[in-house]
Structure 1
Amino acid sequence: MSADLTADLFATAPRVPLPERLRPQSLEEVVGQQHLLGPGKVLRVAAERQQLHSMILWGPPGVGKTTLARLLARSSGLPFISISAVLGGVKDIRDAVEQARLSGQALVFVDEVHRFNKAQQDAFLPHVESGLFVFIGATTENPSFEVNAALLSRARVHVLQALTEDEQLSLVARGAQAMGATIDGPSAQTLLAWADGDARRLLNGVEAVALAADSITPERVREVLGERQRRFDKGGDNFYDQLSAFHKSVRGSDPDAAIYWLVRMLDGGADGKTLSRRMLAIAAEDIGLADPRALQLAVAASETFERLGSPEGELALAEAALYLAVAPKSNAAYLALKAARAQVAADGALPVPWHLRNAPTRLMKELGAGAEYRYAHDEPEAFAAGQTYLPEALVGRQFYSPSPRGLEGRIAEKLERLRAANQESAIGRSSEAADR
């Protein structure tokens, strides 16, 4: 073959992407995950002793799940069989069984295992149970919800952590060296912001910038890579984790954290209607009667967003989030509802006391319905002291215990006065009965 033809072939051959060129060849080269791979840690020990167990690797995108599975297979000496749950099916599992039987055992890696349905996941069970497969599944979703309990019981879950800033910077330096480029601190930080914690995306960004720019600056990075890419899944764990962080920030009366998580979700593409519904729930559950205006404001924000949409309506959501965060907190109404439900479930249908029943007919009046009922508006302060309203078996039971915060503090004071009046009335009735 002539030299010119050889040069032409290499010129047209596809370039191996930088992440693939820098893929670690040993566990020592892996960046991050030292809680699993450090000296004496579980996966390092398993690899060194060649005693691998079936496992689920759970973590965000681009933290090395596939790389780690390959390196564990290499350290164990087992054949590596890879199945993509996006493209594969039961046929691929059958093929893996045949391959594993030829060698006696194999490490079977299933990428995005959460995308396999129950029947497909069940197909692994007998082979994991027999030891034919050392099973490694990779997922970005919570295995508790996405992996069958039977398969989960046969595999340990190892949580892979997002790479730290220092670890990501070390990848930028390694990538820059491989590309023969120089990337300064501000440009590296711009790359980190664009990659949003995904190491594969980060190295792809390094390669793209190094190929497109002679001089690398933050402005040039943004020009080459475009808008930053945010890791956000409106239906997955990442979304619900952020929604949880938002709720807990409001409950914890931290307006700065509340507005941050709200913006993070809006910035990632979350539906403002979903966020407004969560604020309605927060207003009812975590603020309640400590500040009834909170629910009114949450409703107004929801209606405003419905009419304006994004981005104009987002200001109404921000105002509501800040108000809910600084409002006095009380879950007394939530606890009262919960306690009352538990009482009803325990006691069933207790009869309505006769003095609280209507008496629309002569028969009902003759049976005593409505007798001894005292019309509250005819009493001092519109309160019939001593009158009871619960079923007889529950008289004295308290479901609602207002907090001392906000409006509920005044509600608590009023209820104390009314209960004291009830006790005085009860004492007076006891004295009258004794005199008779």
Structure 2
Amino acid sequence: MPQKPLAFRMRPRTIDEVVGQQHLVGSDKIITRMVKARKLTSMILYGPPGIGKTSIASAIAGSTHYAFRMLNAVTNNKKDMEVVAAEAKMSGGVILLLDEVHRLDKGKQDFLLPYLESGMITLIGATTSNPYHAINPAIRSRCQIFELKPLSPEEVKSALAFALNDKERGFGKQNIQINEDALQHFAEGTNGDVRSSLNALELAVLSSNQDENGMIEINLKTAEECLQKKSFSYDKDGDSHYDVMSAFQKSIRGSDVNAALHYLARLIEAGDLVSISRRLLVISYEDIGLASPQAGARTLAAIESAERLGFPEARIPLANAVIELCLSPKSNSAVMAIESALTDIRKGIIGEVPDHLRDAHYKGAQELGRGIGYLYPHNYETGWVPQQYLPNKLKNKKYYLPKKTGKFEQALSTVYEKLNKSK
């Protein structure tokens, strides 16, 4: 029978062995307190892959000596859950780790709910999706929700060192010499995914030959071969996508060029040209707006260039656009103006179109008073004449409140104020 992977063998047996997630399993933190008090409640653990969701579940089971079972909400069926439920009745309780809990269908959910209510099954749901978006409220309301964070390089390094020294489950019985540069590459190269780091370490050990003294040496070159590219977890439809897009726009709005380029690089690495293009175009009108209206046209030109070029060259016009948008003056006056107008409409503050503005291009319009008294601006030397355009109910309303953050909108503001005084 083949040996189980290193990452599987090194799963923590108790809470004390969990690496990272100290905001949950540190001394006097919530999960540790539950384990010590033996008062477990169902919970949902969410976060990126490989950062300890399954490890914490197995450590809870090991620390409390409850029966521990693992199922997947997609691949396991209702019959598998019935087996777990039967065991829970016999033993007085079972901890069920349910992976991909956000994919739980209604039939399985309805079966589980009574057991969660009675406490016969303590559910530990694991998911990479934000449970507030992805998990059915009936399950979510019965669980505590805990967010797990990617491990720091130091925490990953400690997990690697533990695996290298552990004689029972790791490589402690072998003579392995690993260079500090190689260890650092394993620790930093997976974006906090300790499982990937352990997999890479195992590949390095198994693929290296012993020297005449029985020693296996792992240098940086070997580490790079076994972990050729830094892990980049990015789900286009997942929670992290929206977090990155939000940070991208807020960095441009806040004129932080370096942060904006960082988030652009993440989106480029994910190959998400569609999202980048759409968001940049929105930003050019929503955040820069009338402070620098030419930015919109130049952003569109950069997007069209990027689409024609494709990656990797598309990164160049996109970077140009991002830097310009960051350093452009900002104004959201246009979006605030239309939002204010829409708010009135949605509240029913509308009023009748004034008679002199109504359509008069039909027989009988004059008898109805349509178009009578309308002043045609082009008949006046300045091209403007004071008259009421808004309905009576709104005749003194001002939706547009200009900002003076760019020369263009400063000029608009001067004209706007002059016209308002002349009414």
TM-score, normalising length from structure 1? 0.88
Deviation at 1:409? 2.5
> Match of 1:138, SS?
strand
For 1:388, the equivalent position in structure 2 comes to 388
Match of 2:233 in 1: 231
Partner of 1:355: 356
Q: In structure 2, what is the equivalent of residue 336 of structure 1?
A: 337
Point out the structure with the larger helix share. 1
1:377 aligns with 2:378: yes
Secondary structure of 1:248's aligned partner: helix
Aligned partners of 2:25 and 2:31 also within 8 Å: yes
Distance 2:114 2:45 in 1: 21
1:14 shift after superposition: 1.8
Report the equivalent of 1:289: 290
Q: More deviation in 171-180 or 85-94? A: 171-180
Q: 2:197 aligns with which of 199, 202, 212?
A: 202
Q: Distance in 2 between matches of 1:382 and 1:336?
A: 24
DSSP-derived class of the 2:178 partner: coil
Residues 204-226 of structure 1: CA deviation (Å, up to 9, x unaligned): 11122233344433233222333
Secondary structure in 2 aligned to 1:137?
strand
Do 1:195 and 1:205's aligned partners in 2 also have CA atoms closer than 8 Å? Answer: no
Matched, 1:104 2:92: yes
Counterpart code for 2:36: E
* Matched AA of 1:68: I
Aligned equivalents of 1:104, 1:17: Cα separation in 2? 32
Counterpart secondary structure, 1:384: coil
Which amino acid is the alignment partner of residue 116 of structure 1? L
Residue by residue over 1:279-301, the C-alpha shift from the partner in whole angstroms, topping out at 9 and shown as x without a partner, is 11212222222211222122222
Out of 345-354 and 150-159, give the one that drifted further. Answer: 345-354
Moved over 6 A (4+): none
Aligned to 1:251: 253
Residue in 2 that maps onto 1:364:
365
TM-fit CA distance, 1:389 = 0.8
The DSSP-based 3-state class of the residue aligned with 1:135 is strand
Q: Find the counterpart in structure 2 of residue 421 from structure 1.
A: 422
Corresponding residue of 1:7: none
Shift of residue 227 of structure 1?
A: 2.9
- Within 5 Å, give how 1:151-230 maps onto structure 2: 151-177=139-165, 178-179=170-171, 180-213=175-208, 214-230=216-232
Structure 1 CA distance for aligned equivalents of residues 224 and 121 of structure 2? 45
1:38-49 counterparts in 2 under 5 A?
38-49=26-37
User: Would you say the 8 A contact 2:46–2:126 is kept in 1?
Assistant: yes
Three-state SS of the structure 2 residue aligned to 1:195 is coil
Conserved 8 A contact 1:212-1:224: no
One-letter amino acid of the structure 2 residue matched with residue 203 of structure 1: L
SS of 1:136 mapped into structure 2: strand
Does residue 17 (structure 1) correspond to residue 5 (structure 2)? The answer is yes
For structure 1, the residue ranges without an aligned partner over 5 or more in a row are 1-12, 423-436
The amino acid of 1:77's aligned partner reads H
Task: Report SS of the residue matched to 1:258.
Answer: helix
Q: Which amino acid aligns with 2:207?
A: A
Map of 2:402 onto structure 1: 402
Distance 2:242 2:300 in 1: 22
Once the two structures are TM-superposed, the CA of residue 31 in structure 1 deviates from its matched residue by 1.0
After superposition, the C-alpha distances for 1:339-365 in whole angstroms (9 at most, x for unaligned) are: 111111222653210121232246323
- Equivalent-residue separation in structure 1 for 2:250 and 2:105 (angstroms): 33
Asked whether the 8 Å contact 1:250–1:258 carries over to 2, the reply is yes
One-letter identity of the residue aligned with 1:42: I
**In 1: Cα distance, 2:63 partner to 2:198 partner:** 25
Distance 1:189 1:233 in 2: 26
Give the equivalent residue in structure 1 for 2:211.
Answer: none
Q: RMSD across aligned C-alpha pairs, in angstroms?
A: 2.0
Larger radius of gyration: 1
Mapped contact 1:289–1:333 kept (Cα < 8 A)? yes
Q: 1:321–1:120: structure 2 CA closer, same or farther, 3 Å change rule?
A: farther
Amino acid at match of 1:396: N
Contact 1:176 1:182 in 2 (8 A): no
Quote how far apart the aligned CAs of 1:412 are: 1.7
Shift of 1:393: 0.9
Pick which of 356-365 and 25-34 moved more: 356-365
Amino acid at match of 1:259: L
Q: What's the offset of the Cα at 1:77? A: 2.8
Q: Secondary structure at the match of 2:82?
A: helix
Per the TM alignment, residue 130 of structure 1 is displaced from its structure 2 partner at its CA by: 1.8
- SS of 1:123's equivalent? helix
- Contact in 1 for aligned 2:11/2:58 (Cα 8 Å): no
Work out the CA distance in 2 between the residues paired with 1:336 and 1:134. Answer: 52
Corresponding residue SS for 1:182: strand
Partner of 2:133: 145
Partner residue in 2 for 1:316: 317
| AA of the residue aligned to 1:413 | T
Distance 1:120 1:181 in 2: 47
For structure 2, the residue ranges without an aligned partner over 5 or more in a row are 209-215
Shift of 1:410: 2.3
Q: What amino acid sits opposite 2:369 in the alignment?
A: G
Letter matched to residue 264 of structure 1? R
Aligned residues: 408
What's the offset of the Cα at 1:186?
2.4
Determine the structure 1 residue equivalent to 2:213: none
Instruction: Say if 1:349 and 1:399 are closer, same or farther in 2 by CA, change over 3 A.
Output: closer
- Comparing 299-308 with 50-59, greater Cα deviation is found at 299-308
Q: Which amino acid aligns with 2:336?
A: L
Q: Secondary structure at the match of 2:95?
A: strand
